[in-house]
């Protein structure tokens, strides 16, 4: 679904209404044709909306037809982390808590919102980057070696990481343990960059975080 997330529910409902998820393949006329749906992040705005979206998709497509993806995992650098970790005889033996003091994940971008002001106003950096891309990077960095290098095995090891991380931050501790900010005007690589609030489709008094 290469569309704004706000349209997901309606699109899925219409796909179900015309039986597109289970209709025979229009090219081969094979009744067991290949039908899949790819849903890009963000998968909902919060837990409740994510569960509702999951229910909507599952009401039309079977689990084997659903691909919930994060395009960040397709980046060559991210994919190379797995090879760097598990195919490197120098690093794999010392990639553990006995030798690693801490891990710092830095996602340094030189681009701005690039005309995505309306989308960013709804998501912000936390939904756009942290709970998706950065969380996936955390899993790739911390996961145990999978039994097999296939999608299911990698997913299972990532789930183990997520279940072992520290519990959610207490709402009373958020300001003490996190920092949210918003870019003003400045310079990037020697070029002048406008403030976030000056971007198209952005509220001039916006409090949406950009980092």
| CATH number where 45 lies | 3.40.50.720
Q: What is the rounded distance in angstroms from the CA atom of residue 80 to the CA atom of residue 141?
A: 11
Q: What is the rounded distance in angstroms from the CA atom of residue 11 to the CA atom of residue 3?
A: 9
- Is pTM beyond 0.75? Reply is yes
Catalytic-residue membership of 133: yes
The predicted-structure confidence for 57-93, as pLDDT tens digits, reads as follows 999 988 888 888 888 888 888 888 888 888 888 888 8
Question: How many domains does the structure of the chain reveal?
Answer: 2
For residues 203 and 103, state if they share a domain: yes
For residues 126 and 77, state if they share a domain: yes
Domain span holding position 93: 72-211
Mean pLDDT by 10 residues, the chain (211 residues): 82 87 57 77 86 92 87 87 86 89 87 83 87 90 90 91 84 85 89 90 93 88
Which of 51, 69, 87 is at the close of a domain? 69
Name the active-site residue from 14, 71, 98, 133: 133
Q: What is the rounded distance in angstroms from the CA atom of residue 208 to the CA atom of residue 20?
A: 38
For residues 103 and 184, state if they share a domain: yes
Which of 30, 47, 69 is at the close of a domain? 69
Q: What is the pLDDT of residue 138?
A: 93
| Terminal-to-terminal C-alpha distance of the chain | 27
Q: What is the pLDDT of residue 197?
A: 94
Q: What is the pLDDT of residue 87?
A: 85
For residues 5 and 108, state if they share a domain: no
| Greatest Cα pair distance in the chain | 60
Q: In the structure encoding, which two tokens stand for residue 25, read together?
A: 């393949």
Which of 69, 102, 124 is at the close of a domain? 69
DSSP for 24-86, written as a single string = PPTTT--TT----EEEESP--SSHHHHHHHHHHHHTTS-GGGEEEE-GGGGSHHHHHHHHHHH
The predicted-structure confidence for 101-118, as pLDDT tens digits, reads as follows 988 998 888 777 888 888
Query: What are the Cα distances from residue 1, in Å, to 7, 8, 43?
Result: 9, 7, 11
């Amino acid at each position: 679904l290469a569309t704004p997330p706000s349209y997901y529910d309606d699109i899925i409902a219409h796909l179900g209404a015309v039986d597109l998820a289970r209709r025979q393949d229009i090219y081969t006329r094979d009744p067991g044709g290949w039908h899949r749906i790819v849903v890009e992040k963000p998968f909902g705005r919060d837990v409740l909306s994510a569960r509702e979206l999951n229910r909507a998709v599952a009401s039309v497509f079977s689990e084997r037809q659903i691909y919930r993806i994060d395009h960040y995992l397709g980046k060559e650098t991210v994919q190379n982390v797995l090879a760097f970790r598990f195919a490197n005889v120098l690093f794999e033996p010392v990639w553990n808590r006995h030798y690693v003091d801490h891990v710092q994940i830095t996602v340094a971008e030189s681009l701005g919102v690039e005309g995505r002001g309306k989308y960013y106003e709804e998501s912000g950096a936390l939904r756009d980057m942290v709970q998706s891309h950065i969380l996936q990077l955390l899993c790739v960095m911390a996961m145990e070696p999978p039994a097999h290098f296939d999608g299911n095995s990698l997913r299972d090891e990532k789930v183990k990481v997520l279940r072992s991380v520290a519990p959610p931050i207490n709402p009373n501790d958020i300001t003490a343990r996190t920092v949210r900010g918003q870019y003003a005007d400045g310079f990037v690589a020697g070029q002048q960059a406008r403030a976030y609030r000056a971007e198209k489709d952005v509220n001039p008094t916006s409090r949406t975080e950009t980092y």
